[in-house]
Amino acid sequence: MAEDDVRLAALLEQALVESGHSVDVHHDGISALAAARRGGVDVLLLDWMLPGTEGPEILRALRADGYTTPALLLTARGELPDRVGGLDAGADDYLAKPFELDELLARLRARHRRDRSSALTALRAGDLVLDPVSRQVSRGGEPVGLAAREFDILAVLMTRAGQAVSRFDLLDAVWDGDTDVRNNTIDVHVAQLRLKIDRPFGRDSIRTLRGIGYRFDPAGG
């Protein structure tokens, strides 16, 4: 967890520890980035405004490294452009300050439920491979770094390859049916996913079904 407000960080640490979590606390972005790169983290909790390196910059650096660990951005910047910017940087979720501890803990529980329910068999579609155990994706043998939400969306689409997957289906599977999530949030994640698994390889695996949702084309033609 990276939070520069020492008092808030202490309160969050206490609540998380009492809920059974192990917490590594940092008060600046540089040490938080270094700790994340060392690994052994199940989920990142990052304040947006951090001294040294801000939360979104940490995420951009980690995603560029192929780091897929889920990340929740804590921010007082709740306007739509800020939320979209945070998601584009690699956040999987955001929580606007001030927030209730119960909501934070609920989101962490939801994250763990998704991790436990992931299938253990690697998914393959041509030269695209998704490994749910290591949470790694590759295309043509080349690693592809995805944010955790992007990874989960791809897993749903590949599991149901050739079938129509509605936005509601993705909302239910990836966001646990959170009704506060907007359709454009899903679209932003899918657009980012296309930029990473299709465009660099000259493919078109994810098709948009107007008024319905998406379909994964195993041929990727």
Quick: pLDDT tens for 152-198: 999 999 988 888 898 888 888 888 766 566 668 888 999 999 999 99
The CATH architecture annotation of domain 6-116 reads 3-Layer(aba) Sandwich (3.40)
Question: Domain residue spans in the chain?
Answer: 6-116, 119-216
Residue 98, preceding bond cis, omega within 30 degrees? yes
The whole-model pTM stands at 0.54
Are 60 and 35 a contacting pair, CB within 8 Å? no
pLDDT at 94 over 70: yes
Q: Which residues contact 194 (CB under 8 A, 6 or more apart)?
A: 205, 206
At residue 120 the predicted structure's pLDDT band, cuts being 50, 70 and 90, is low
Question: Alpha-carbon distance 149 to 60, whole Å?
Answer: 14
DSSP state of 215: E
CATH number for the domain running over 119-216: 1.10.10.10
According to the model, what pLDDT value does residue 116 have?
55
Q: Return the ∠ at Cα 148 (arms to 56 and 106), rounded to 5°.
A: 90
Joined tokens for residue 61 = 């650096």
- pLDDT at position 193 is 94
Helix (H), strand (E) at residue 46: strand 44-47
User: Fold identical between 6-116 and 119-216?
Assistant: no
Rounded Cα gap, residues 220 and 198, in angstroms: 8
